[in-house]
């Protein structure tokens, strides 16, 4: 019977080899061209690169959220001693380990902070409402915090990635145990730093608005996107003849479940945040939603309710959809686009009260996305695409959904 057959790594290709340099070159080229085009378009706006800054920020925040999702994924799987995901874990490891590149890509956000962030405007910074936190929301403190965030994230994603790679050759079970021991603590540090970073990166664009849920909101969006990206990465590699037969519909079924579950979770968080401010109706809180509910942004918001929540929720509810390769790929792609629109809706209304869309938003997507993918490819090139030394790999290969 079918489930007696255990797939073997030897039956498929598990390295990027020839594909690596090509993928790296193409995506890096797209990235450089994309960023150059964005910069050019930004200059042509004649607004002191303000629009450029916002377009850049959306896409930076987007790709950062995916890598942060990957960063959460690894320790979660270690603390729960889960085995089914082992076969795809290397892809998550490199997606998280691209953090130093994201640190470099954060520099423009800092350079253009004056154009993006309300607190950088001296008129706002000097206002009474800001007086108590002017020091916290100052450029120097902002830079300092970003250095700290990236030190934490780089250190820890590299620790997970490097340890796992070391295990490829040694097969040392102790390494797994070591990662398990550090995972709980890693999760705590991550939760705190990601929440704080989301306040800095997105919430403080409007320095007068606040929401305790915001960190969870940003994280949830990134985490669901992470699963969609993993799905597409794996399928893409399979289309080139890699990882075939070892990542089966059983694994994809679980990717689908994760996308479904976190789509729901994201909807729950987004709804709670909105409803509580809608209900209490306090002006200092509702103004954030007010500008996002008119002049075209309201329509965008309606699109988001359907695109990020209702439709993928309905689309992924059935077992059939989660096990059909084409449908899963479709919804993974859909979720990525929808979560991007959501970030657009979070960021862009601070740039303009009425709806705007510019080619820069797209070129910046390809610019940052291209470099991000090139970075991930570079990291994936030297080693196996599968953590071959992991003691739970065998169990992962044999995995079957009950």
Task: Write out the two tokens for 113.
Answer: 């902070």
* Among residues 276, 299, 302, 310, the one that binds another protein under rule CB under 8 A: 276
* Among residues 13, 133, 145, 244, the one that binds another protein under rule CB under 8 A: 133
Q: How would DSSP label each residue in 104-153?
A: HHHHHHHHTHHHH-GGGSHHHHTSGGGGGGTTTTSHHHHHHHHHHHHHHH
Q: CA dist 177 to 118, 164, 224, 315, 330, Å? A: 46, 11, 27, 38, 37
Query: Is the CB of 60 or the CB of 199 nearer to another protein?
Result: 199
Q: Is 123 in the site for another protein (CB under 8 A)?
A: no
Q: Is 106 in the site for another protein (CB under 8 A)?
A: no
Q: Residue 239's CB: how many other CB atoms inside 10 A?
A: 9
- Burial track 7-29 (b if 16+ CB lie within 10 A, e otherwise): bebeebbbebeebeeebbeebbe
Query: Is the CB of 100 or the CB of 118 nearer to another protein?
Result: 118
* Among residues 151, 192, 302, 310, the one that binds another protein under rule CB under 8 A: 192
* Among residues 126, 240, 284, 337, the one that binds another protein under rule CB under 8 A: 284
Tokens 């800095």 locate to 200
Q: Is 182 in the site for another protein (CB under 8 A)?
A: no
Binding flags for another protein, 204-243, as an x/- string (CB under 8 A): ----x-xxxxxxx---------------------------
Give me the count of residues in the chain.
402
Q: Is 271 in the site for another protein (CB under 8 A)?
A: yes
Phi, psi of 242, rounded to the nearest 5 degrees: -105, 155
Residues 63-102 contacting another protein, CB under 8 A: 79-81, 84
* Among residues 206, 238, 273, 294, the one that binds another protein under rule CB under 8 A: 273
Query: Is the CB of 36 or the CB of 317 nearer to another protein?
Result: 317
Question: What's the closest the beta carbon of residue 146 comes to another protein, in angstroms?
Answer: 17
Q: Is 136 in the site for another protein (CB under 8 A)?
A: yes
**Which residues sit opposite 189 in a β-bridge?**
none
Residues that bind another protein (CB under 8 A): 1, 3-4, 79-81, 84, 129-130, 132-133, 136, 173, 176-177, 180, 184-185, 188, 191-192, 195, 199, 208, 210-216, 257, 264, 268-269, 271-282, 284, 318, 391-392, 395, 402
């Amino acid at each position: 019977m079918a489930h007696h057959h255990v797939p073997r790594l030897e039956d498929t290709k598990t390295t990027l080899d020839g594909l690596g340099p090509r993928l790296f070159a193409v995506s890096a080229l797209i990235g450089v061209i994309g960023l150059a085009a964005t910069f050019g378009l930004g200059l042509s706006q004649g607004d002191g690169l303000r629009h450029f800054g916002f377009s850049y920020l959306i896409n930076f925040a987007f790709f950062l959220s995916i890598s942060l999702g990957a960063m959460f994924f690894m320790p979660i799987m270690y603390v729960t001693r889960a085995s089914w995901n082992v076969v795809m874990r290397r892809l998550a490891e490199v997606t998280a380990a691209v953090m130093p590149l994201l640190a470099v890509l954060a520099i423009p956000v800092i350079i253009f902070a004056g154009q993006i962030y309300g607190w950088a405007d001296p008129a706002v910074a000097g206002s009474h409402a800001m007086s108590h936190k002017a020091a916290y929301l100052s450029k120097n403190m902002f830079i300092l915090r970003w250095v700290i965030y990236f030190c934490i994230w780089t250190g820890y994603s590299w620790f997970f990635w490097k340890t796992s790679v070391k295990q490829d050759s040694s097969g040392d079970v102790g390494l797994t145990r070591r990662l398990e021991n550090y995972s709980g603590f890693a999760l705590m540090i991550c939760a705190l730093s990601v929440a704080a970073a989301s306040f800095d990166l997105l919430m403080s664009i409007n320095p007068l608005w606040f929401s305790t849920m915001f960190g969870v909101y940003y994280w949830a969006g990134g985490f669901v996107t992470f699963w969609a990206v993993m799905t597409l990465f794996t399928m893409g590699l399979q289309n080139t003849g890699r990882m075939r037969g070892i990542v089966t519909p059983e694994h994809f079924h679980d990717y689908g479940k994760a996308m479904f579950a976190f789509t729901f979770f994201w909807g729950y968080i987004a709804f709670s945040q909105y409803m509580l401010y809608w209900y209490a109706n306090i002006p200092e809180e509702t103004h954030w939603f007010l500008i996002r509910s008119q002049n075209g942004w309201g329509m965008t918001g309606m699109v988001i309710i359907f695109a990020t929540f209702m439709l993928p929720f309905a689309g992924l509810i059935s077992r059939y959809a989660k096990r059909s390769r084409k449908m899963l790929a479709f919804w993974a792609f859909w979720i990525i686009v929808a979560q991007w629109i959501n970030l657009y809706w979070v960021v862009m209304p601070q740039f303009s009260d009425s709806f705007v869309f510019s080619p820069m938003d797209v070129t910046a997507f390809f610019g940052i996305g291209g470099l991000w993918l090139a970075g991930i490819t570079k990291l994936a090139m030297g080693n196996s695409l599968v953590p071959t030394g992991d003691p739970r790999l065998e169990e992962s290969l044999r995995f079957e959904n009950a």
